[in-house]
Amino acid sequence: MGKTIAVIGALDTKGEELRFVKEEIERRGHKVLLIDTSVIDEPLIPPDIPSTEVAEAGGSSLAALRERRDRGEAMKVMAKGAAVVVTRLYQAGKIDGILGMGGSAGTAVGTAAMRALPVGFPKVMVSTVAAGDTRGYVGTKDITMIPSVVDISGINRISRQIFTRAAGAICGMVEVEVRPGADKPMIAASMFGNSTKAVEHGRAILEKAGYEVLVFHATGVGGSTMESLVAEGYFDGIFDITTTEWADEVCGGVMSAGPNRGDAAARRGIPQVIAPGCVDMVNFWAPSTVPEKYRNRQLYEWNPNVTLMRTNVEENIEIGRRLAEKANASTGPVAFLLPLRGVSLLDSPGNPFWNPEADQACFRAIKENVKPGIHVEEIDCNLNDPEFAERAAALLLEMLQKKA
C-alpha cells in the first residue's frame, strides 16, 4: 500500500518542476499531497492545500500579503504557516514524508515546515542553496539537502536527473521500515576532542548500568541539537561535562550553541551532572579568522582549520556565572563536578593551556552563584582522568535512581 508524501513549494513559479516530482512519486506507487506556498500569482497546477490556507495558518491572509507586497513579511508568514499546516498533517497521521523544492526563499519556507517535524520523519529539500553553511535551513533536524546544481527553472537534461533522484530518495525513505531495537533509557552526553577520554569512559559506565548514551559533539550545532532533543523528551539524564560552547558564546567564538543552552533540561527537570569541560578554549577557524582584538592572546592551532584561544580570568568568571544561572533554573536535581587539575587535555599540568588561576575563577563563580541545594563537588584530578568520569557517572546514576 502506498504512502502519502507532502510536496511543498511555490506553485506559481515552480509548478512545472513540482508537477514532475509529483508524477515521479506517483509512478512509484505513492500518493502526493501538494502544498502551495505561492504569494504573488495563481498556481500553475491545482494544490491540495492552497496558499490561502497556509497564509491563514501563518496569521495573515493571502489578500493582505499581496496588497502589502512586502516579500520579507510574506516569507515569514508563509514559513510560519507551512510549519503549522505540516504539523497538523503529521499529527493527524496524514503524511509519511515531505519533499520541498525552491531557491533561497522556497528553501526557507520548505525547511521551516520540515524543522517542525520530529527527527526520523523523512525530509528532503531540493535547493539552489544546498551548499556551504546550511545551518539556518537545517537547524537541528535531519533534513536531507540536495543541491539542484542548475536553477530550478524548467525540466532539462540536468534537472531531470536531480528531480528524479530526489523523488526516488523520498520514496525510499518512506518505504523503509526502521527495525526495532532493544531500546533503553537514554542519557545525553556532550563531548569535544579535548574531553573524549572522559566521555568515553563515562559512557561505558553508564551503558553498563543499563542506559543508552547519545554523544553530541559540542560544536554549536551539536549542543543545539542536544537541546532540541532534550526538549522533545528523549532523555532521562544529562552527562553535560563538556560545556565549552559557553566559552564561544561569551567570547564570540564560532561554536556557540546560543544563550538558551541548558534551558530544556532545566524546564523538564532532568537529572544533570555538569562540568566546566573545555571552557578553557574558544574556537575560531584558520588563524587568519581570529578577530583583531584577540590576536595577542594565547592561541593554539588545533588543526589547519581550527584555532583555539585560551580563556582568561574575566571570561571564566562570566562562564561560571552563566553555568550557575542555568542550573538554578532547573526543576530537577543538578550536580557540578569541578576538576582541580584542569578542564581539558590542553589544560593540564605541562600543557599549553594549563592555567589554574583561570580555572579557579570559573569554579568560584559557580560556587558563589548556585542556589542552595545544588551539589558542587571538587575533585583533585584532570577532566580526562578515569576518576573524574567514574565520579561523574556515579553522581548521575545516584540522581537517576532517586528519581526512579
Spatial CA neighbour of 165 closest among 292, 24, 322, 62: 24
- Report the C-alpha gap between 198 and 153 in whole angstroms: 51
Quick one: pLDDT band at residue 181, thresholds 50, 70, 90?
Answer: confident
- Mean per-residue pLDDT over the chain, rounded: 96
CB within 8 Å of 398: residues ≥ 6 apart = none
CB contact at 8 A, 52 and 23 = no
Mean pLDDT for 199-217 is 97
CA gap 348, 339 in Å, rounded: 10
pLDDT tens by residue, 92-112: 999 999 999 999 999 999 999
Q: Is the pLDDT of residue 132 over 90?
A: no
Q: For the residues 213-233, what does the mean pLDDT come to?
A: 95
Q: Give the separation between CA 202 and CA 363, rounded to whole angstroms.
A: 22
What is the pLDDT confidence band of residue 133, given thresholds at 50, 70 and 90? confident
Q: Which letter does DSSP use for residue 101 in this model?
A: E
Specify the pTM. Answer: 0.84
Q: What are 177's three cell numbers?
A: 521500515
4-175 shares its CATH topology with 186-403: yes
Percentage of the chain surpassing pLDDT 70? 100
Residue 400 — very low, low, confident or very high, per pLDDT cuts 50/70/90? very high
pLDDT single digits (tens) 321-374: 999 999 999 999 999 999 999 999 999 999 999 999 999 999 999 999 999 999
User: CB-based burial of residue 38 (10 Å sphere; 0-12 exposed, 13-18 middle, 19+ buried)?
Assistant: buried
Question: Which pairs from 384-387 meet CB under 8 Å and 24+ separation?
Answer: 384/194, 384/195, 384/196, 384/197, 384/198, 384/344, 384/345, 384/348, 385/198, 385/339, 385/341, 386/201
CA–CA gap between residue 376 and residue 363 (Å, rounded): 9
Is the pLDDT reported for residue 272 higher than 80? Answer: yes
Q: Does domain 4-175 have CATH number 3.40.640.10?
A: no
Domain locations in the chain?
4-175, 186-403
**Domain 186-403 classification at class level:** alpha beta
How far is Cα 307 from Cα 315, in angstroms, rounded to an integer?
A: 18
Cα separation, 186 vs 236, in Å, equals 6
Q: Which pLDDT band, with edges at 50, 70 and 90, does 1 fall under?
A: low
DSSP 158: T
Q: Would you state the pLDDT for residue 299?
A: 97
Confidence of residue 169 (pLDDT cuts 50, 70, 90): very high
